[in-house]
Structure 1
Amino acid sequence: MMRMFTVQHWRTRLRCAVLVVAAVPLFLNAMSALAASDAPVRVKDLGKLQGWRENALVGYGIVTGLAGTGDAPTNRSTKQALANVFSQFNMTIAPEQVQSRNVAVVMVTAALPTFAREGDTLDVTVTSAGDARSLVGGTLLLTPLKAPNGRVYALAQGPLSVGGYRYDANGNVVQKNHPTVGSVPAGATVEVGTGANMVDARKNITFVLAEPDYTTANRVANAINAQLGAPLAEARDASGIEIRIPESLRDHPVQFFSRVENVTVEPDRRAKVVINERTGTVVAGGDVRIAKVAISHGDLKISIATENTVSQPFYIGHGGPGVQTAIVSNSHVDVDERNAPAFVAATNNTVADLVQALAQMKTNTRDIISILRAVKAAGALHAELVVQ
């Protein structure tokens, strides 16, 4: 499989990796043995009870106190918003009369947890909704945060924390990160508490796996029944395990939930290899298997040197209109193929073995990614290949 040409300063270097899918038995087989026997984990680390969810809140507010970096004076939404604020304090000012660069209209967002009581505080995120250049040094005025049902559940206010800045003068700009986004830690106060009903009409609860898998769901149900000493759980599908609350604990559901959450189980793991070509990252479980294969890796370098010369006629201007100066390019191509092939063959190999073998051959990460994709295309990689 050949790589694309890249040209720099009239010279082109080509690296070529010829792949025939592969693996080697190395000391990383020990890693595979360890990965195959994963330690049991708690049920609560595999998912959550059905009904457990966060609720999105959003509001529209104003940030004041900016040092001339707010919305432009011609921004109509800013003028109207500021005039509305003034009207709350018995000040009648027409929107057309509002002129300020120290104010910015913003959108405020927060997440209301599953169980929230009046007086709890929430972190809020503030983003510019106008043409403000920076929110550094600003303070968010009192902003109601609403849920999709239109009801106000929290009130947000406080000074902004911005992880960046922007300063400009005379056409020069110095900027770090995104100065038009900030946060107010614990800046919202819950006004209306929320809760969730985890128990259905039949006095059952449903545990939902974060990653649906039939094998894991069946193991969770069996572990709950074994460790609680009664047939209370049954896997309904790949993600849901229905659990019956015993009559002795129906008046104490929290105690029963705690016992279920702390049940330990050995989950099944689907074989995956995740690669990120932008950062050159490869992540795979140590026990991800590949078929018996081999690697041949070589290096081909092509250099193209171009020399430009000028052909100057002796009698320019006396030989007619067709006589003129010409630029002549002479190119020299040099091909250097350094064959350093490596061939290995083995059985019961893993991706960890393959990566270790390629590293010993001084193969860079991006070539390893190409090799893994070729292995998958050949049908020798027994795992799902996820390309980010």
Structure 2
Amino acid sequence: MFTRLRPRRRIAATLLAFAWALAWTLGAAVPAAALSRVKDLAQVEGVRTNNLVGYGLVVGLNGTGDTLNNAPFTKQSLQAMLERLGVNTRGATMRTANVAAVMVTASLPAFQTQGTRLDVTVSALGDAKSLQGGTLLVTPLLGADGEVYAVGQGSVAIAGFQAEGEAAKITRGVPTVGRIASGALIEREIEFKLNAQRALRLSLRNPDLTTAKRIASSINDYLGQDSAEPVDPSTVNLTIPPKFRGNMVQLLTEIEQLRVEPDQTARIVIDERSGIIVMGRDVRVSQVAVAQGNLTVTISEAPEVSQPDVPFTRGTTAVVPRTRVKVDTGDANKLAIVREGVTLRELVDGLNALGIGPRDMISILQAIKAAGALQADIEVM
């Protein structure tokens, strides 16, 4: 059974269908901007991790520790530790190979409280062959100010191994570096009173003037007042509104979810050792002609054996060398035209059309930059 629509309803349905079709067409024609959260673009200045370092001993190694004659600091540390425990070893001959001197490192995150645990990394300092099966003794971990912030201890877990015999040895990974999960106990907190702040500074992870301006505008639009101001490419000052004073967590939680389209300088990153090329989307090239040709020289040897015409005569059999040399210049005569203002996709397609490898492409990009036709920064790693 079909229901016949009235004229007004038919006109309304037609307009609605047309509006949906127009909206779908415009959405397909205009690409969505790549928006990122403020949380991913910037961080609050002062809220950061702190590096800790300490010196300690790993014991319990199966003969893979330091050679005490080659590592005097290990011997001195072992004697000092035993003396603190009431054992006098001064003047005694020590030949143990089950001890290794190590450096212990860790990162102390912001707002970590006393009594919580950290992961630590243990690295051999002497000539130890492996830390497998070892146990780290109590090791104070110091900050940049020389104060003890954590104490590490525990069994060392390594990812590599080493096995050897009389005539062969195999090593996988790095057996002289290990990790202790939750191996350090925090003894001192780093005070940072977030709620007591009257102003904050947002530090951009990738400094850019346009991005800083967009972040400030987005925050001001959300708060309804001019509280954020960009002061340089990497910093946005934020004055705390009166209604959020004493409640910084709520303010930062709402601000870090705002979405902003980041901007960046056109840049090409090149790693000449591995031949890796990374180009930004804003890379543009002025009209330029590029020629690339590979000079290939091929030398092949095909020696021939020369024998006497009449067998059993005084003639001798000789080997006559036959060398063939071939020179191929490739497509050195051809010029490829790169149009002005091409996009990244067109630039890559044009360079690939020349049939060149990554290393030759690196030379071409550097030559185009030297000619002044490449509007981008080249960063060589």
161, 164, 168: which one aligns with 1:165:
161
TM-score (norm 2): 0.80
Matched, 1:226 2:221: yes
Shift of 1:260: 2.0
C-alpha separation in 1, matches of 2:56 and 2:167: 30
C-alpha separation in 2, matches of 1:35 and 1:105: 62
318, 324, 329: which one aligns with 1:337:
329
Matched, 1:346 2:357: no
Match of 2:40 in 1: 45
69, 77, 96: which one aligns with 2:64:
69
Report the CA distance shift for 1:374/1:96 in structure 2 as closer, same or farther (over 3 A): farther
Shift of 1:350: 2.6
Report the CA distance shift for 1:35/1:368 in structure 2 as closer, same or farther (over 3 A): farther
Report the CA distance shift for 1:339/1:68 in structure 2 as closer, same or farther (over 3 A): same
Report the CA distance shift for 1:339/1:129 in structure 2 as closer, same or farther (over 3 A): closer
| 1:80–1:95 Cα contact (<8 Å) kept | no
C-alpha separation in 2, matches of 1:335 and 1:173: 46
- CA offsets, 1:287-309, max 9 Å, x none? 3111122333334322346899x
Shift of 1:236: 1.5
- CA offsets, 1:18-63, max 9 Å, x none? xxxxxxxxxxxxxxx9999632211111121111221111111111
Report the CA distance shift for 1:94/1:345 in structure 2 as closer, same or farther (over 3 A): closer
52, 55, 58: which one aligns with 1:60:
55
TM-score (norm 1): 0.79
Shift of 1:149: 2.1
> Percent of aligned positions with the same letter in both sequences?
40
Shift of 1:95: 6.1
Query: 1:349-360 maps to which residues of 2 (within 5 A)?
Result: 349-360=342-353
Report the CA distance shift for 1:222/1:92 in structure 2 as closer, same or farther (over 3 A): same
C-alpha separation in 2, matches of 1:80 and 1:350: 65
SS in 2 for 1:91: coil
Query: 1:1-388 maps to which residues of 2 (within 5 A)?
Result: 38-74=33-69, 75-94=71-90, 96-170=92-166, 172-198=168-194, 203-304=198-299, 333-339=325-331, 341=334, 343-388=336-381
Question: Whose radius of gyration is greater, 1 or 2?
Answer: 2
Equivalenced residue count is 337
C-alpha separation in 2, matches of 1:337 and 1:237: 52
Q: Which amino acid aligns with 2:59?
A: T
C-alpha separation in 2, matches of 1:330 and 1:242: 79
Shift of 1:114: 1.4
C-alpha separation in 2, matches of 1:352 and 1:369: 17
C-alpha separation in 1, matches of 2:330 and 2:204: 52
SS in 1 for 2:288: coil
- CA offsets, 1:161-197, max 9 Å, x none? 2121223333532212222111112111111122324
Unaligned stretches of 5+ residues in structure 1: 1-32, 309-328
Larger mean Cα displacement after TM superposition, 131-140 or 90-99 = 90-99
Q: Which amino acid aligns with 1:111?
A: S
Q: Which amino acid aligns with 1:90?
A: G
Unaligned stretches of 5+ residues in structure 2: 1-27, 304-320
C-alpha separation in 2, matches of 1:34 and 1:81: 71
- CA offsets, 1:188-209, max 9 Å, x none? 11111223245787x1111111
| 1:273–1:386 Cα contact (<8 Å) kept | yes
| 2:297–2:327 Cα contact (<8 Å) kept | yes
C-alpha separation in 2, matches of 1:246 and 1:240: 19
| 1:144–1:152 Cα contact (<8 Å) kept | yes
Match of 2:20 in 1: none
